[in-house]
Amino acid sequence: MNTFASFIVKETKHILRDSRTMMILFGIPMVMMLLFGFAISTDVRNVRTVAVLSSTDNLTQRIIQQLDASEYFTVTHRVATPAEAEQLIRNQQADMAVVFAPNVANHRYDGTAKVQLIADAADPNMAIQRTSYAERIIAGALVGSSMQPSVNLRMLYNPQMKSTYNFVPGIMGLLLMIICAMMTSVSIVREKERGTMEVLLVSPVRPVMIILAKAVPYLVLSVIILVMILLLSVYLLGVPVAGSLFWIFALSLLYIFLSLALGLLISILVRTQVAAMLVSGVVFLLPNLLLSGMIFPVESMPEILQYMTAAIPGRWYIAAMRKLMIMGVDVGSVRQELTILSAMTAVLLLIALGKFNKRLDV
């Protein structure tokens, strides 16, 4: 046991002495949190808007003022025809146009008041969000009688509609996978390239214990980074942790073990660090970024892709984290995700250790 601990200490010192590795381990989480928290956002803000007015009256002026006063829209131009508005959108000088029919105020009470929205739909999701926000503001201005029905919106779990609530669990899943799987596989393959792995394997310590000793420091670092992400989420991005911290950490530890098993499996299958990085990028980074539901909802994908995403661990971890962190549910509500991740971890560990022992026998 003392020898096993010595191997862990040795590997930890090796990681701490490598300034580039430490910069990657702690720099990437900071950069990604800042990017997804502030730079990369799906929130509607400061949409450049053109007002198309064939005539002006109090109603159209009020609608324009309400649009401009909101945090969502900035009225940058006022033109007389829709063609002029479309030209501004085509020239990238505006994102959306509000076209008022002639004498719109005269038809306010008879239900025939017409207002058209023209949006740049090159990004269809953003176009839908922008027009939806504009419709709400315009509808509020067009309500002419207290007898008309009103709709009271109540947003659960994310009342301010912040996109960071959606991104933080995804960042956790992506970073933990990168750190555990990619860094572990590269670390073990590096020993192969240097020829030191053979020396370690003929030592009195069992080969499996050597591999585990190399993985333990990354497990500890992953837990530290998990704590750092949660602290940044709460105190920098204002994302609350509504659920149980115990189950958040328990599920994250399970996901970390799964990622370590994947890293071990890759280290067995490849022989160079470059190959380990390429395989890790293709197998872990892109699928977890694009197919896990981190950015694009799984339900919106083609049916065949939805079935494929079931094999991506990040999908289940991110879904569970959103439920635990944002919705504040109990562990019973993430039973499916917990079961699937446990099964994946067990299968991957068995495959990785089996291939490792087989490689030793050869």
Q: What is the pLDDT of residues 323-352, one digit of tens each?
A: 999 888 889 989 999 999 999 999 988 888
Do 134 and 220 lie in a common domain?
no
Q: Identify the CATH number of the domain in which residue 84 sits.
A: 3.40.1710.10
User: What is the Cα–Cα distance from 193 to 40, expressed in whole angstroms?
Assistant: 39
Which residue, among 237, 247, 256, has the nearest Cα to 328 in the 3D structure? Answer: 247
In a domain, 152, yes or no: no
Could you tell me the CA-to-CA distances from 201 to 196, 322, 361 in Å, in that order? Answer: 9, 42, 12
Instruction: Write down the mean pLDDT value for the chain.
Output: 81
For residue 230, the one-letter residue type is L
**How many CB atoms sit inside 10 A of residue 242's CB?**
13
Sorting pLDDT into bands at 50, 70 and 90, what band is 149? very low
User: What is the Cα–Cα distance from 213 to 348, expressed in whole angstroms?
Assistant: 18
Query: What pLDDT score does 174 carry?
Result: 87
The answer to whether the beta carbons of residues 331 and 351 sit under 8 Å apart is no
User: What is the Cα–Cα distance from 207 to 188, expressed in whole angstroms?
Assistant: 12
Task: Look at the chain and report how many structural domains it folds into.
Answer: 2
**150-205 residue pLDDT tens:** 445 556 687 777 778 888 888 889 888 888 888 888 877 877 777 776 666 666 66
Chain CA centroid to CA 180, Å:
18
In a domain, 73, yes or no: yes
The answer to whether the beta carbons of residues 126 and 134 sit under 8 Å apart is no
In a domain, 62, yes or no: yes
Query: What pLDDT score does 349 carry?
Result: 86
- Token readout for 1 is 């046991």
> pLDDT at residue 147 above 50?
no
In a domain, 83, yes or no: yes
**220-270 residue pLDDT tens:** 888 898 898 889 888 888 888 888 999 999 999 999 999 988 888 888 888
Q: What global pTM score does this model have?
A: 0.76
The phi, psi pair for 47, rounded to 5°, reads: -75, 120
3-state secondary structure of 56: coil
Question: Position of tokens 């207002």?
Answer: 115
Of 142, 173, 197, the position where a domain reaches its end is: 142
Question: Position of tokens 């509609």?
Answer: 161
Question: Domain range holding 332?
Answer: 2-40+162-361
**270-327 residue pLDDT tens:** 888 888 888 877 777 788 888 888 887 887 788 898 899 999 999 999 999 999 998 8
User: What is the Cα–Cα distance from 163 to 174, expressed in whole angstroms?
Assistant: 17
185 burial class (0-12, 13-18, 19+ CB within 10 angstroms)?
buried
In a domain, 147, yes or no: no
In a domain, 174, yes or no: yes
* One-character DSSP codes across 46-89: -EEEEEEESS--HHHHHHHHHHHHSSSEEEEEEESSHHHHHHHH
**48-77 residue pLDDT tens:** 999 988 777 777 888 899 999 988 899 999
Do 170 and 96 lie in a common domain?
no
Chain CA centroid to CA 43, Å:
14
Do 65 and 9 lie in a common domain?
no
Do 185 and 265 lie in a common domain?
yes
Which has more pLDDT, 129 or 21? 129
Do 27 and 176 lie in a common domain?
yes
Do 202 and 66 lie in a common domain?
no
Query: What pLDDT score does 151 carry?
Result: 45
Question: What is the average per-residue pLDDT within 15-44?
Answer: 75
Question: What is the average per-residue pLDDT within 10-36?
Answer: 78
In a domain, 148, yes or no: no
Question: What is the average per-residue pLDDT within 102-130?
Answer: 73
Query: What pLDDT score does 123 carry?
Result: 66
Query: What pLDDT score does 155 carry?
Result: 66
